[in-house]
Amino acid sequence: MSSGKGSKLEQRIVAAAEEALRSSKYVTPLGILNAIGWLPGGQIDRWRQGRIDPLDKALQVSPSKLSAVLEVLAGWARSHGLEPSETPYLSADRDRRPLRFTTAGDPAVERAFRTHWLSPALTPAARDKLVARQSAAPDVLAIVPAGGWSCAECHGSGDLHTMEHGKPLCLICADLDHLVFLPAGDAALTGRAKKAGTLSAVVVRWNKGRKRYERQGLLVSEAALAAAEAQCLADEDARARRRSRDAERRAAQDVELAVRMATRIIELYPGCPPERAQEIAEHTAQRGSGRVGRSAAGRALDDGALKLAVTASIRHLDTEYDKLLMDGVPRDEARIRIRTTIDHILTNWASITPRQ
C-alpha cells in the first residue's frame, strides 16, 4: 500500500498525531492506531492482559497497512523534530513478560511499535519523568468476570480473578486475597494508598457498550489504606482548592475543543448554519458523554468522526427518527426510513458555497 503524500490515510495519521502532540506532548503508534479507528482501546487492554498475542491478531488490516502507518508517523515525527524514545511493553499479569506486536516478529517493526515520539519542547526533567512513566510496568489487574469462570490452578471461582500466562487465577492462588477493596472515586486516596503499599491490583470490569475495561477500584493492604486516609485528612482543604482550579482549566479546554470542532464542521459542511455547527460541537465534545467527539478520533478532528456527529444531529433534529422509535419501529428499520433525508441534508450542506 502506498502512503503517498496527501493520501487520506496520511491525512488521518497526521491529524491524529498533531492532536496527540498538542494534548500529551508525545505520540505513540498504538495511540495513532486507536485514533484512526483501527485498534479499539478494549483490544489493547486484552493484549496487555495476555488474552491476545500478538497484537496484530486484533487488527483487521494487512501488514502493509500497518507498515504504512509506522512509516508515515516516523516521517512526520522526524520532520517536526520529535525525539524517539524506545519504550518496553510488558504484560499486565504477574510475570511482566515482554509483549509482541506482530506475528512475523520482525525486529525493526517491533522496535518501530515500541518507539514513542517526544516533543522537543519538553524540559529534560519533564522528558525524564515522561519516559519513566511510559517505561513503568503496568498495574496488575483484578478482573470482574463477565460470566462463569474457573481458576486454572484450584478450579475454584470467585468475584475477581487475575491473569497469568493467559489463564485466570483466583485471588487466593494469585496471593492477593489478603488485600482489601478501595472503590474508585477519590483519586488522592487511591494514589496515596497505592504508593503506601508494596502490592496492589487495579480492579476492572468490561463495559459491553463501550467495549473496554473500566476501572472500579483498587485492591490494597489494610495498612496502606489506613496510612492514605490519614494523609488525606491532613490536607483536605488544600486539595479542595486544587480541584476547583483543575475544574476551571478543564472547562476552558472543553470550550477550546468545541470551537475547533465547530470550525472544522463548517469547513466540511459550509451549508451548515454556524449556530448549528456550534451546537453539534458542544454536544459531541461534552466531557464524560462517551460521544464520538470525546473519542481519540473526535479530539483529533478526524473527518469521519465529525461526519458521524453531524449525522447524529440531523437524525434526531431533522427527521422523524425519534418519533419512529417511540412508535415502536425497530432501530435498524427506522434508520433505513430516514437514510434518504440524512443523505440529502449532508449533500446539501457539503455542496453549498459559503458566503464571502
Task: Evaluate if residue 3 carries a pLDDT over 90.
Answer: no
Q: Is the pLDDT of residue 242 over 70?
A: yes
Chain centroid, CA 196 distance in Å: 28
- pLDDT score, position 353: 65
The pLDDT of residue 12 is above 50: yes
% of the chain at pLDDT higher than 70: 97
Between 88-102, 222-236, 327-341, the lowest mean confidence (pLDDT) is in 88-102
1 pLDDT band, cuts 50/70/90, is: very low
Contacting residues for 224 by C-beta, under 8 A, at least 6 apart: 193, 194, 196, 197, 200
CA–CA dist 257, 242 (Å, integer)? 23
Q: Is the pLDDT of residue 320 over 90?
A: yes
Q: pLDDT value at position 346?
A: 95
Residue 244's pLDDT is 82
Q: How far apart are CA 337 and CA 333, in angstroms?
A: 6
Overall pTM surpassing 0.85 (yes/no)? no
pLDDT, averaged across the chain: 88
Which of 65-74, 85-94, 127-136, 236-245 reaches the highest mean pLDDT?
65-74
What span, in angstroms and rounded, lies between the C-alpha atoms of 161 and 145?
7
Grid coordinates representing 334 are 427506522
Average pLDDT of the residues in 93-97: 73
Largest CA distance in the chain: 74
Confidence of residue 4 (pLDDT cuts 50, 70, 90): very low
pLDDT of residue 52: 87
94 falls in which pLDDT band (50, 70, 90)?
low
List phi, psi (to 5°) of 119.
Answer: -65, 135
What is the pLDDT at residue 347?
Answer: 94
Within the chain, strands assigned E span 26-27, 83-86, 115-118, 141-144, 161-164, 167-170, 180-183, 201-207, 212-220
User: Residue 137 region, left (φ>0) first, then alpha (ψ -120 to 50), else beta?
Assistant: beta
- Residue 256: closest CA among 299, 308, 302: 299
Q: Is the pLDDT of residue 182 over 60?
A: yes
